[in-house]
Structures are given as structure tokens and as C-alpha cells.
């Protein structure tokens, strides 16, 4: 096979619509405003108790860094935290390995565990164990 054939093929590819860089530039969407909410990382038991006092409804994600399902559902939870319909919910997360006392106090037995806290109560109003996106949305909608 001659090198002229390869040069011609490369040249043809560059001029096709697939390669055209201007097509890629037009698909970028930049937002001038930052997200309204986010999932807040709770680093201590005291910080969690303060959050309970300050917010009427809290969605707590109890995760571990080594947990595959936790990693899979984390971006889904982050997307929901930016949705307008869930604006009244404070989204938070704790690493169960970093806060073992709080994890034990909350009764965490598996990861991920999602808990809804209402009106400053230390006992969860509702609990969801496992990475189930549909059940997570149902839980959020129930408590908005």
C-alpha cells in the first residue's frame, strides 16, 4: 500500500463534517449563572447537628469512597440538588468511614443510604438503602 493512498485518506477525513472543529464549538453550552444548590459535604457530627437546626428538610447521602454504587448515584443526586422542584431541600453527604460515630448513631448498615430529616429531628423521617434512582426521586418528591 502506498503512502500516497494514506495521505489522500487523511486529507479526505479532515474535510468531512465529522472532523470539522467548528461543529464541535457550536455545541458548547455555557451558563452565566452558577448552580443554585449543591450537595454539601458534612465533615463532623457538630456540623450535621447545626445543619439540622438551620434547615427544615435535609436529604443526607451516607456514602463510602470505595463504594461503587455510591459513585454511580452521586452525580444523579447532584443533578437533583439543582432542580427547581427540590429547592427547599438541603442536600448533604457524609463519608461513613470519616464519621463512624455519626454513622453508628444514625444506624447506617449499608451504602449508599439516603435519609430525610425534617424539622430538626435527629431521627430520620424516612430512609432509603441502595442506589435506586427512581426510588430516590420518589423520596424527594414525597418530602418537597
Number of domains in the chain: 1
> Which residues of the chain form beta strands (DSSP E)?
39-41, 57-63, 89-95, 113-118, 126-129
**Residue 115 falls within a domain, yes or no?**
yes
Backbone angles phi, psi at 108, to 5 degrees: -75, 120
DSSP 84: G
Of 126, 45, 102, 40, residue with least CA distance to 77:
40
The Cα 110–Cα 113 span in angstroms is 6
Q: Tell me: pLDDT of 64 over 70.
A: yes
**Residue 8 falls within a domain, yes or no?**
no
The Cα 142–Cα 135 span in angstroms is 10
**Residue 31 falls within a domain, yes or no?**
no
**Residue 106 falls within a domain, yes or no?**
yes
Reported residue count of the chain is 144
pLDDT digits (tens, 9 = 90+) for 102-112: 999 999 999 99
Which positions are annotated as active-site residues?
67, 70
Mean pLDDT score, 128-134? 96
CATH number for the domain that contains residue 73: 3.40.30.10
Mean pLDDT score, 99-128? 96
pTM, full prediction: 0.74
Residue 106 domain boundaries: 39-142
Mean pLDDT of the chain: 84
**Residue 3 falls within a domain, yes or no?**
no
Amino acid at each position: 500500500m502506498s503512502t500516497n493512498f494514506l495521505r489522500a485518506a487523511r486529507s479526505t477525513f479532515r474535510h468531512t463534517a465529522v472532523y470539522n472543529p467548528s461543529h464541535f464549538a457550536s455545541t458548547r453550552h455555557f451558563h452565566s449563572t452558577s448552580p443554585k444548590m449543591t450537595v454539601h459535604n458534612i465533615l463532623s457530627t457538630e456540623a450535621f447537628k447545626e445543619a439540622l437546626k438551620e434547615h427544615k428538610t435535609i436529604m443526607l447521602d451516607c456514602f463510602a469512597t470505595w463504594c461503587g454504587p455510591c459513585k454511580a448515584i452521586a452525580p444523579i443526586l447532584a443533578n437533583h440538588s439543582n432542580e427547581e422542584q427540590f429547592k427547599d431541600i438541603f442536600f448533604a453527604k457524609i463519608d461513613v468511614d470519616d464519621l463512624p460515630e455519626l454513622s453508628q448513631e444514625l444506624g447506617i448498615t449499608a451504602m449508599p443510604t439516603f435519609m430525610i430529616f425534617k424539622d430538626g429531628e435527629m431521627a430520620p423521617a424516612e430512609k432509603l438503602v441502595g442506589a435506586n434512582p427512581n426510588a430516590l426521586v420518589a423520596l424527594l418528591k414525597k418530602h418537597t
